[in-house]
């Protein structure tokens, strides 16, 4: 049955983003989420872009959008004021004046299982690539005690809040039966038993997992769905390593090629006018590492895992020398060209999530953004 649609608000948009790309995925130094705007304001149309600059605000106004979702945060460093002086202050002042909310999805998108680096790997012919730097899980185990016969209703509510997802599986749970005891105190209105009398009940221990960022919403759903007046539950942080999430990607090409030929392939796939290459054009390439944006920090990990080449952007001279000394080829396709693919990817993901939640939000893809660099 299709869910009933209702007017969406900025806070609903934040919820969509957090469900797919929780803030917990972001690096500690990053600033993601709602940067400016009223969470209670209605939103019908959203512009997805790489940079929340003046061109994006112009495009949002022209399209009648109430919000902009950018990859690069508009507010990155702490601000002392918001005045129309300086680039950031001018953009913030304008966004507030025009009533346009600005949100950022940055390193949480980079590290997500199906985020920027996943899309980049697909474009470069590495659909089965794994994270280059895998992360410790952000998951929490939730165990709740439910009277027998109500476990499915409670589980459904938790699944709707984002619980029960393990890799490509959803609605995951474990259930064991047992006996719970309790004595209702003065002034209580127990589901079972009577005030002042010890009661025992057949109960099911329902266990599932959920992202740490979804705990608040899941507990709200749990309390509403649970028949007990007081709900007993456990929250247990997990330290498992997530092999599907992390920075960059690494994988093997279906067929080995040369560095020169692969560089040409990258250039065509990313539609960039030029790429910079470190390494001999005739060197063999079979195992490829990649990292959208600035990926010099993963050079060591790419070497450790035996990559033949690293595809990324923003490589400096000494970083190139480091890669060269380890026999690692590098294809620098530029920060802009390795990240702009987030626009269609993010827009498509949010459309699907919004539809599943019954939210009427139109996601518009920014056109015309360009690399600030030109080659002469």
Nearest to 88 by CA among 67, 73, 98, 108: 73
**Are 145 and 221 part of one and the same domain?**
yes
**Are 267 and 211 part of one and the same domain?**
no
Residue 118 forms part of a structural domain:
no
Final residue belonging to a domain, choices 208, 238, 268: 238
Residue 305 forms part of a structural domain:
yes
- Note the pLDDT of residue 242: 74
**Are 259 and 328 part of one and the same domain?**
yes
**Are 260 and 130 part of one and the same domain?**
yes
Residues 296 and 141: their CA atoms lie apart, in Å, by 35
pLDDT digits (tens, 9 = 90+) for 296-350: 999 999 999 999 999 999 999 999 999 999 999 999 999 999 999 999 999 999 9
Number of domains in the chain: 3
Work out whether the CA dihedral 175, 177, 183, 188 comes out positive or negative: positive
**Are 184 and 255 part of one and the same domain?**
no
If you compute the radius of gyration of the chain from its CA atoms, what whole number of angstroms results?
A: 24
Q: Report the first-to-last Cα separation within the chain, whole angstroms.
A: 57
- Note the pLDDT of residue 1: 43
Final residue belonging to a domain, choices 221, 238, 255: 238
- Note the pLDDT of residue 136: 65
**Are 179 and 312 part of one and the same domain?**
no
Residue 312 forms part of a structural domain:
yes
**Are 252 and 334 part of one and the same domain?**
yes
**Are 175 and 255 part of one and the same domain?**
no
**Are 129 and 268 part of one and the same domain?**
yes
Instruction: List phi, psi (to 5°) of 247.
Output: -85, 135
Residue 1 forms part of a structural domain:
no
Work out whether the CA dihedral 38, 42, 45, 48 comes out positive or negative: positive
**Are 275 and 129 part of one and the same domain?**
yes
Q: Which domain holds residue 73?
A: 10-111+341-365
Domain harbouring 198, CATH code: 3.30.70.120
Nearest to 334 by CA among 289, 277, 285, 286: 277
Residue 96 forms part of a structural domain:
yes
Residue 191 forms part of a structural domain:
yes
Residue 376 forms part of a structural domain:
no
- Note the pLDDT of residue 354: 95
Domain harbouring 89, CATH code: 3.40.1390.30
Spell out the residues 6+ positions from residue 79 whose beta carbon is closer than 8 angstroms to its own: 88, 89, 92
pLDDT averaged per 10 residues, the chain (length 376): 68 93 88 96 98 97 98 92 89 95 97 95 94 82 96 95 84 96 93 92 96 88 95 91 87 97 98 97 98 97 98 98 98 98 98 93 96 91
Query: Is 193 within 8 Å of 184 (Cβ atoms)?
Result: yes
- Note the pLDDT of residue 53: 95
**Are 17 and 83 part of one and the same domain?**
yes
- Note the pLDDT of residue 81: 87
Final residue belonging to a domain, choices 185, 210, 238: 238
Residue 375 forms part of a structural domain:
no
**Are 234 and 252 part of one and the same domain?**
no
């Amino acid at each position: 049955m299709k869910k009933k649609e209702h007017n969406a608000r900025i806070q609903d948009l934040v919820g969509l983003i957090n469900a797919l790309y929780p803030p917990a995925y972001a690096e500690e130094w990053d600033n993601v989420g709602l940067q400016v705007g009223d969470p209670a304001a209605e939103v019908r149309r959203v512009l997805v872009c790489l940079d929340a600059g003046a061109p994006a605000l112009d495009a949002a106004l022209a399209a009648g959008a109430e919000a902009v979702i950018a990859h690069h945060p508009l507010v990155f460093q702490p601000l002392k004021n918001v005045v129309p002086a300086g680039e950031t202050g001018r953009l913030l002042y304008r966004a507030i004046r025009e009533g346009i909310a600005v949100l950022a999805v940055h390193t949480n998108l980079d590290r997500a299982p199906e985020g920027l680096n996943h899309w980049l790997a697909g474009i470069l012919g590495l659909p089965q690539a794994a994270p280059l730097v895998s992360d410790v899980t952000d998951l929490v185990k939730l165990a709740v005690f439910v009277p027998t016969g109500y476990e499915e209703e409670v589980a459904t509510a938790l699944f709707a809040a984002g619980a029960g997802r393990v890799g490509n599986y959803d609605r995951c749970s474990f259930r064991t039966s047992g006996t719970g005891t309790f004595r209702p105190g003065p002034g209580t209105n127990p589901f079972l038993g009577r005030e002042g009398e010890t009661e025992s009940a057949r109960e099911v221990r329902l266990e599932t997992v959920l992202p740490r960022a979804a705990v608040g919403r899941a507990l709200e759903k749990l309390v509403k769905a649970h028949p007990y007046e007081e709900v007993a539950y456990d929250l247990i942080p997990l330290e498992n390593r997530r092999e599907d999430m992390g920075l960059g990607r690494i994988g093997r090409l279906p067929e080995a090629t040369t560095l020169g030929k692969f560089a040409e392939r990258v250039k065509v796939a990313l539609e960039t006018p030029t790429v910079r290459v470190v390494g001999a054009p005739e060197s063999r390439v079979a195992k490829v590492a990649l990292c959208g944006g600035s990926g010099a920090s993963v050079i060591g990990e790419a070497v450790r895992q035996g990559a033949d080449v690293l595809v990324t952007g923003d490589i400096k001279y000494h970083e190139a020398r480091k890669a060269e000394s380890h026999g690692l080829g590098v294809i620098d396709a530029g920060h802009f060209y390795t990240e702009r693919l987030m626009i269609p990817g993010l827009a498509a993901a949010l459309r699907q999530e919004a539809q599943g939640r019954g939210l009427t939000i139109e996601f518009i893809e920014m056109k015309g953004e360009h690399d600030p660099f030109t080659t002469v």
